[in-house]
């Protein structure tokens, strides 16, 4: 009979240990990259005002910057927080673009920068020039890139269509938000 009370006391203790073990698993631990119900989503800013593409599980970022005037697409390899440049050994890397649904291969070539000491084969900047980049709308596609011995394959991206007009806020045209249609506003 003495074993029954100890089993009865042991079961709740085991249940508490199991609950703590599952509650404290790595996926449940607080992380500054996870969203909580009370905080804003974790967002990174692109240093060159381009489009950030996450590579790996928040291991790296690739910033894609399109210059429609020059017809260039420049890629900057960054750390997972998009704060520091990451030099890689690739002299170039292929990127598949799909402007207007057309399969278009591009090769971004490494850019040397004497001011930072970056050289071909040890740089964080890559670029390509193509005349169709001057007039194409948004560009989507995939790329494969190796970072320090790890290859990330078929990473998808989307660079939106460049805006020719400055944001409305810069023009001072802050229009009121309303649920009424424009014709209803004119008639009021």
Tens-digit pLDDT profile for residues 60-94: 999 999 999 999 999 999 999 999 999 999 999 99
Is 4 contained in some domain?
no
| pLDDT score for 101 | 85
Is 150 contained in some domain?
yes
Is 82 contained in some domain?
yes
Give the DSSP per-residue string, 90-148: -SEEEEEE-GGG--EEEEEEE--BTTTTBBTTBBSEEEEE-GGGGT---EEEEEEEEET
Is 127 contained in some domain?
yes
Number of domains in the chain: 1
Give the range among 42-51, 68-77, 136-145 with minimum mean pLDDT: 42-51
| pLDDT score for 46 | 85
Is 45 contained in some domain?
no
Q: Tell me the pTM.
A: 0.66
More confident residue, 36 or 164: 164
Domain of residue 86, CATH code: 2.60.40
Determine the average pLDDT of the residues in 123-129: 96
Confidence class for position 162, pLDDT limits 50, 70, 90: confident
Is 55 contained in some domain?
yes
Determine the average pLDDT of the residues in 22-33: 35
Closest by Cα among 150, 148, 130 to 139: 130
Give the range among 15-19, 70-74, 136-140, 181-185 with minimum mean pLDDT: 15-19
| pLDDT score for 41 | 55
Give CA separation, 95 vs 74, 117, 140, 152, 160, in Å: 11, 25, 10, 12, 16
Residue 89 and residue 121: Cα distance in Å, rounded? Answer: 4
More confident residue, 2 or 114: 114
Is 11 contained in some domain?
no
Which long-range contacts link 31-35 to residues 24+ away (Cβ below 8 Å)? 33/58
Is 12 contained in some domain?
no
Work out the mean pLDDT of the chain and round it to a whole number: 74
Give the range among 37-51, 85-99, 134-148, 160-174 with minimum mean pLDDT: 160-174
Query: What's the pLDDT tens digit per position in 164-181?
Result: 544 444 444 444 444 444
Domain range for 149: 51-162
């Amino acid at each position: 009979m003495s074993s029954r009370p100890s089993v009865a006391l042991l079961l709740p203790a085991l249940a508490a240990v199991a609950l703590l073990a599952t509650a404290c698993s790595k996926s449940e631990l607080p992380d500054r990259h996870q969203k909580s119900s009370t905080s804003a989503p974790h967002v990174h800013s692109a240093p060159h005002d381009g489009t950030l593409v996450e590579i790996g599980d928040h291991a790296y970022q690739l910033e894609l910057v399109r210059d429609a005037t020059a017809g260039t697409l420049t890629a900057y390899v960054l750390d997972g927080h998009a704060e520091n440049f990451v030099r890689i050994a690739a002299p170039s890397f292929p990127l598949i673009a799909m402007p207007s649904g057309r399969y278009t291969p591009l090769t971004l070539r490494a850019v040397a920068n004497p001011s930072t000491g970056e050289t071909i084969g040890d740089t964080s900047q890559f670029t390509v020039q193509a005349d169709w980049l001057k007039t194409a709308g948004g560009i989507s596609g995939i790329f494969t890139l190796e970072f320090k011995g790890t290859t990330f394959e078929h990473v998808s991206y989307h660079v939106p269509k460049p805006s020719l007009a400055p944001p409305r806020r810069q023009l001072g045209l802050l229009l009121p938000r309303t649920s009424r249609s424009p014709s209803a506003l004119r008639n009021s």
